[in-house]
Amino acid sequence: MRLLRIKMWAVPVAAFVCLALLSVPALAGNGKVAGTVTDDSGAPLPGANIVITVGGDKLGATTDDQGRYFILNIPPGTYAVQASFIGHKAVQQTEIKVRLDLTTSVDFELPVEVIEGEVMTVVAERLMVEKSLTTSRSTIGAAEINNTMPVSDLQELVNTTPSVFRGYIRGGRKAEAKVLVDGIDVSDTYFRAGEGAQTHNGYVDVNRSNGDEFSAVGVNVSNVQALDIVAGTFNAEYDAASAGVINVVTKEGGDKLQGRLFFRRGLSGTKNAGPEVYNGLAEPEPDEETGEVDKTTYYDLYLAEKAKLEASEDAAEQAKAADYYVFKPGDITYGDNPSTEMELSLGGPLPLPRTNFYLTTRFLNDEGQLPNHLNKSMRHSLKLTHRVNDAIKLTGNVMVDDGGALGGWVNRNFSGKYAYYPEGAMGNKKLGTMTYLGINHVLSPNTFYDLKISQVTRSSEFGYSDDNGDGVIDVDEDGDFLLIDSAEMAEKYLGVDGSGADADGNFTFFTTNPGNSKNFDLPFGDNQYRLAQPGFYYEDLSRDVMQLKGDLTSQVNYHHQLKTGFLYRKHNISKLMQRTQITVNYSNLPFEISEYERQPAEMALYVQDRIEYGGVIVNAGVRLDGLNVDAEQIADPFHPSEEATYTYASGTEQTYRKPIRSGKSVDTKWFLQPRLGISHPISET
């Protein structure tokens, strides 16, 4: 599994080297500017010239016989648009905001002028109502991020938009939202493949929805040119997303060298303000009359229970206190190191003609409240753009999001479960990459296409480290994760036949045994039961997807913009998971191993029409999606399984039901999805 991860990483590295040598490659989703040009009497001006400057290049259009014009393929951003006509004063409108997949209306009124002189400049006012919206949508541009948004992470940026609460769009799950970067789907579609399907789950702390597992890579805030959150219906060009679409357009280097540095460091101990994790560990005040301290009235339930057991006359109760209540106040203290965060961005021209770069890097080191709580990451991106000529633009982008897999550190998420037992907190190492190459080709003033090929990878590893090999997990151990690969290891860490005790009756670090079998009185099967130790867990999950995507856009006439495209996506999912089971009769099912590799494929075709009239905007389209799950059919639905025997690493044999496959692949499933969005502006406000 680890060799597979190296192979997955080699692909984006090779692509990056080729990109750097060839100076190749893609343009993300763009917007449109359209409007009319009239004289000061309201009469249309056919043949007027409209010019907008985009990154040093000029895009233009000429009005038709009704004074109408449109300019396609404009990246999101803020621009100045100028209109000119012989015998009239030229007018320039500034602060024109172009938004992703939307039409920005810019109308001009050119006063008559006998002698041409200076250009009249008009600052555009922000519209109260966005007439071209056919869905609930929020857009944040680079200017807002740099000047008004006190955020340092993309997730924080998403949380500032309507319809989003703590990363959840419209109340849906995080995994139900699509995340697009420059039009590339970086959603971690199969992140749930890491969750076990058995009923007797181990006591482990793998909470993916609490982190970033729903997205293969993160995006640095300084790399965001535009952020678009779609929380309603979607155009046919988008995959199905029941919650919403997070669409990110990354920045490109300009004609001048520019950079930005962000640095933030917290004060030592600031995380400890307010209620503490170990609040209430101090003994109660002595009785005013007797001066004695009643230890059974500790504020903390754990210590109060321990004191009651120690005060008992029953030797078994006293032994329970000595064996299981091993935590002592003062043994564990807060992590007192301040958090450090730094982000650097640099962009500009390269020595090659019409070639630019944009580089970002981010470092985060956040040590939490528990001694081994760590959230550390390094995130890098490099985008190269090259204009072959005025009609062809090549773009390439490489992103690397390292959560310890490359850097060699181990992260641990804070959990109150392990406040008194931090050794039980599981470590994790993650790595995400995205690489794409693409071309944007303008065929005519009315038509252009985008073609991209990409690879997105995500690997995540969870487990425990025992650096000194003594069979006990210590707080400061963060080496390679344990993998049970022999009967000796199984007995060392899981006990004889997975019982949680060795041949001499000494408890192992991990357990398969619920707490009631160790002198606790809570019946097994209730909503909660106590464990004196964590269950063993190891997981290595890799997700790799290659994608080919093409889109063709054509403004057929002033009122209709047609768009069509295709998508082919090939996944490679590999998983190795080992874990103990929590069950009363642990000798029957002490250990679970899950290992597989699958290569599902997706394909799609779509066509849509954007219809724009003064009183109504319609987005109408249809999408055909196909899914091949790379699985075999059950031979007989009435007799789907047969009895089989599995031998666990501990040597114990387990009888289970094995599915009977027919050898015939599951057919590709096809889904036809009509999409319709309508906007009818009632007024300007």
Which DSSP string corresponds to 663-674?
A: EEEPPPEEEEEE
Domain for residue 283, yes or no? yes
Structural domain that includes position 97: 31-74+76-123
DSSP conformational letter for 465: B
Q: Can you tell me the distance from the alpha carbon of 268 to that of 313, in angstroms, rounded to the nearest whole number?
A: 46
**What tokens were used for 154?**
């993309």
Domain for residue 569, yes or no? yes
Angle ∠(193,228,675) on CA atoms, nearest 5: 75
pLDDT at 634: 83
pLDDT at 548: 97
The more confidently predicted of residues 159 and 19 is: 159
Domain for residue 661, yes or no? no
| Residue 649 binned pLDDT confidence (cut-offs 50, 70, 90) | low
Half-sphere exposure in the Cβ direction for 243 (13 Å, CA): 19
pLDDT at 543: 92
pLDDT at 194: 54
| Residue 551 binned pLDDT confidence (cut-offs 50, 70, 90) | very high
Instruction: Pick the range with the lowest mean pLDDT from 45-54, 282-291, 373-382, 457-466.
Output: 282-291
pLDDT at 673: 92
363 and 291 share a domain? Answer: no
Q: Can you tell me the distance from the alpha carbon of 401 to that of 430, in angstroms, rounded to the nearest whole number?
A: 8
For the residues 37-53, what does the mean pLDDT come to?
A: 90
Instruction: Pick the range with the lowest mean pLDDT from 14-23, 117-126, 228-237.
Output: 14-23
Whether the pLDDT of residue 272 is over 70: the answer is no
303 and 378 share a domain? Answer: no
| Residue 243 binned pLDDT confidence (cut-offs 50, 70, 90) | confident
363 and 434 share a domain? Answer: yes
For the residues 157-176, what does the mean pLDDT come to?
A: 79
Q: Which residue has the tokens 């014009």?
A: 69
pLDDT at 299: 55
Q: Is the pTM of this model over 0.85?
A: no
For all residues of the chain together, what is the average pLDDT?
80
Hey, CA dihedral for 227, 232, 235, 239, is it positive or negative?
positive
Whether the pLDDT of residue 561 is over 80: the answer is yes
262 and 227 share a domain? Answer: yes
For the residues 244-267, what does the mean pLDDT come to?
A: 88
Domain for residue 404, yes or no? yes
Q: Can you tell me the distance from the alpha carbon of 567 to that of 131, in angstroms, rounded to the nearest whole number?
A: 30
Half-sphere exposure in the Cβ direction for 578 (13 Å, CA): 19
pLDDT at 357: 96
**Are 508 and 496 spatial neighbours (Cβ–Cβ below 8 Å)?**
no
For the residues 9-33, what does the mean pLDDT come to?
A: 47
Domain for residue 502, yes or no? no
Hey, CA dihedral for 269, 271, 273, 276, is it positive or negative?
negative
169 and 242 share a domain? Answer: yes
pLDDT at 656: 61
For the residues 214-243, what does the mean pLDDT come to?
A: 85
* 591: β partners: 580
181 and 222 share a domain? Answer: yes
Question: What is the CA 510 to chain-centroid distance, rounded?
Answer: 32
**Are 547 and 607 spatial neighbours (Cβ–Cβ below 8 Å)?**
no
456 and 544 share a domain? Answer: yes
CATH number at residue 374: 2.40.170
Q: What angle, rounded to 10 degrees, do the helices at 301-311 and 315-324 form?
A: 140
pLDDT at 324: 73
Whether the pLDDT of residue 261 is over 70: the answer is yes
CATH number at residue 104: 2.60.40.1120
For the residues 66-76, what does the mean pLDDT come to?
A: 89
* 123: β partners: 94
Instruction: Pick the range with the lowest mean pLDDT from 234-248, 293-307, 531-545.
Output: 293-307
**Are 277 and 332 spatial neighbours (Cβ–Cβ below 8 Å)?**
no
| Residue 653 binned pLDDT confidence (cut-offs 50, 70, 90) | low
Whether the pLDDT of residue 672 is over 90: the answer is yes
Helix (H) or strand (E) holding 266: none
| Residue 193 binned pLDDT confidence (cut-offs 50, 70, 90) | low
Whether the pLDDT of residue 199 is over 50: the answer is no
| Residue 320 binned pLDDT confidence (cut-offs 50, 70, 90) | confident
**Are 540 and 610 spatial neighbours (Cβ–Cβ below 8 Å)?**
no
580-629 confidence digits (pLDDT tens): 766 554 445 567 777 889 999 999 999 999 998 877 889 999 999 999 98
Report the domain count for the chain.
3
Whether the pLDDT of residue 1 is over 90: the answer is no
99 and 61 share a domain? Answer: yes
Whether the pLDDT of residue 203 is over 80: the answer is no
Helix (H) or strand (E) holding 167: none
45 and 185 share a domain? Answer: no
Instruction: Pick the range with the lowest mean pLDDT from 192-206, 225-239, 391-405, 632-646.
Output: 192-206
For the residues 272-292, what does the mean pLDDT come to?
A: 64
Domain for residue 234, yes or no? yes
315 and 454 share a domain? Answer: no
pLDDT at 151: 74
Domain for residue 86, yes or no? yes
pLDDT at 7: 43
- For 187, residues 6+ apart whose C-beta sits below 8 A from its C-beta are 175, 177, 178, 179, 214, 215, 216
Whether the pLDDT of residue 565 is over 90: the answer is yes
* 392: β partners: 441
For the residues 533-555, what does the mean pLDDT come to?
A: 91
154 and 85 share a domain? Answer: no
Among 180, 248, 223, 182, smallest CA distance to 360 is for: 223
398-456 confidence digits (pLDDT tens): 999 999 999 999 998 777 777 777 888 889 999 999 999 999 999 998 999 999 999 99
Domain for residue 671, yes or no? yes
Among 386, 447, 385, smallest CA distance to 72 is for: 447
67 and 151 share a domain? Answer: no
Q: Can you tell me the distance from the alpha carbon of 20 to that of 520, in angstroms, rounded to the nearest whole number?
A: 63
